Amino acid sequence: MAGASDTNMAVSLLKVGRDEDPALFFRDEVITYLELRQRVGLLASSLLADGLQHGERVGLFSDNTPFFVISYLAVILAGGIAVPFFSGIDEQSFREIVASTGMRRILLQVKNFLSAQEWAEGKLDLWPAKEAHTSDGTVIEGAEARPSDLGLLDSVVIDPQADPAVILFTSGSTGRPKGVMISHRNIECNTEDIISYMGLTRADRVLAALPFSYCFGASLLHTHLRAGASIVLCSSFMFPEKVLDELRDRECTGFAGVPSTYQILLRKTHFAEREFPALRWFQQAGGRLPDPFIRELREAHPNVRFFLMYGQTEATARLSYLPPEMLDKKFGSIGRGLQHTQLQVLKEDGTPVCPGSDEVGEIVASGENIALGYWNDQEESLLYFRGGKLHTGDMARVDEDGYIYVVDRARDFIKSMGNRVSAREIEDVICGHPQVVQAAVIGVPDELWGEAIAAYVVPLSREKVSEEDLKAYCNECLPNFKLPQRVVLVDSLPLNAYGKIRKEVLREQARNDTTI
């Protein structure tokens, strides 16, 4: 990648790893940092030779494979903007993203993605999968890659503060996809902060089971490449025991997951009984893991450090973390802001809440990790990015030491009998039952209660727990106005592409259920 500027995020991520060290593990394949740099450089130069323009949006349609990593870095190195698709995306969302970004080409992993070719209807250049791939589409060398094209990289000029490197799509308040524009500097800043508090080094090796199209998954990719560490690529969480085999056999030092990841592992696998000698840390973000599961996880693997983190796509990835040594003292807290992130908890009038009080306000963030805004969506940008700060929509309080405690999402509070009730508090209680895998609590419009509390629960076994059992369990732990009026046992909860519970689906279901 000679000639490419260090202001380019792709260069920054690849400059630390030693040539001979493994960068990626995938099935039986090992790709060293030297090989990775060569493949990325060749593909980036091929894109430029094919006419890629500065700031052009390029789609990436792939699982967590070497194909994704090489394509992602190559697009960014060439001065384009990478737009990763979740591999399980539906046709309507696919078309909306293509239309809104005006992308002309998609780097497509061949295997399992024939639907994308049909959806493109010949209007997109599905490049370079059509001419440069292995039999399973997992390794890419670059379409008609020529070493002589490498000189084209000298012409790529990046403004790290203003140029987006990536657009990550998430759901907006309107329910349609909205693209978060993340700059080169956003990624560099957040990556350096995470590496610092995690203490990542070349000796680290993470099992990446979260999709790279998700900001949490992307942050694992960014941090481990930037540290010169290695990444074990996992394309599916469908068979969690096999994921655990990989975690052990590859001697991974770290594992990361969203709440549903750990809930499934603790309730539906032998995770608690198995040993992982090389493992030194867990990362958890993407929503709050109920307290009972945190305790179970720590009891099962007491020698593994647990990093509880808080963030949003709009903040590149992370906004805060709770140091493992503070877990007991500050249990339930998301910690404090990262080194380059300023967090405030503000009341409706814009003034800070009083530390150590019961006052609740919205978490507002500023810093170099805060994204540029939403792609082609000024209305949403003005709503969430105001005055150079990110308004998260998360309600919280602050203790006397400045540690922040999220109470709930603003839209997830329930008005029951005139009381403002946190759905999260009730979910924590329900998840304390040993026969519960997951729970989601919502408010349902009700003439008497204002909002009736409904709990949707995934049991470990319907034969061992009933809806009445769970109501009785709640009755022992909660005051009357916080008790669920309805408990519904379900086989699964509606999750988005990244394992987060879709409460809007449950609300719609509840509106159509006349028994509630």
Among residues 134, 158, 182, the one where a domain terminates is 158
Amino acid identity at 502: R
Report yes or no on 311 lying in a domain: no
User: For residue 87, which of 117, 107, 64, 119 has the smallest C-alpha distance?
Assistant: 64
Report yes or no on 455 lying in a domain: yes
DSSP-derived 3-state class of residue 187: helix
Residue the block writes with tokens 């039952």: 433
Report yes or no on 202 lying in a domain: no
Distances (CA, A) of 77 to 40, 156, 214, 475: 8, 8, 20, 58
Report yes or no on 72 lying in a domain: yes
Q: What is the pLDDT of residues 436-449, one digit of tens each?
A: 999 999 888 876 66
- Which CATH number belongs to the domain containing residue 421 in this structure? 3.30.300.30
Among residues 158, 178, 196, the one where a domain terminates is 158
Terminal CA-CA length for the chain: 61
Q: What is the dihedral angle through the alpha carbons of 343, 346, 351, 356, rounded to the nearest 10 degrees? A: -80
Domain range spanning residue 121? 9-15+31-158
Among residues 109, 139, 158, the one where a domain terminates is 158
Q: What are phi and psi of 251, to 5 degrees?
A: 55, 50
Assess contact for 438 and 260: CB atoms under 8 A.
yes
Residue spans of alpha helices (H) in 269-340:
291-300
Assess contact for 460 and 437: CB atoms under 8 A.
yes
One digit per residue, the tens of pLDDT, for the chain of length 516 reads: 555 567 899 999 999 999 999 999 999 999 999 999 999 999 999 899 989 999 999 999 888 999 999 999 999 999 999 999 987 787 888 888 988 999 988 888 765 455 666 666 666 666 544 433 333 333 344 445 566 667 788 889 999 999 999 999 986 444 567 899 999 999 999 999 999 999 999 999 999 999 999 999 999 999 999 999 999 999 778 889 999 999 999 999 999 998 889 988 998 899 999 999 999 999 999 888 888 899 999 999 999 999 999 999 999 999 999 999 999 999 999 999 999 999 999 999 999 999 999 899 999 999 999 999 999 999 889 989 998 899 998 889 999 999 999 887 667 778 776 667 888 889 989 998 999 999 999 888 876 667 789 999 999 889 899 999 999 999 898 888 888 989 999 999 998 777 778 888 888 888 777 554
Token representation of residue 484: 């669920």
Report yes or no on 282 lying in a domain: no
- Number of domains forming the structure of the chain: 2
Q: How far apart are CA 362 and CA 383, in angstroms?
A: 14
- Which CATH number belongs to the domain containing residue 46 in this structure? 3.40.50.980
Report yes or no on 439 lying in a domain: yes
Q: How far apart are CA 450 and CA 417, in angstroms?
A: 6
Q: What is the pLDDT of residues 136-173, one digit of tens each?
A: 333 344 445 566 667 788 889 999 999 999 999 986 44
Burial 420-459 (b: 16+ CB within 10 A, else e): ebbbbebbbbbbbbebbbbbbbbbbebeebebbbbbbbbb
What global pTM score does this model have?
A: 0.83
Report yes or no on 60 lying in a domain: yes
Report yes or no on 127 lying in a domain: yes
Assess contact for 474 and 429: CB atoms under 8 A.
yes
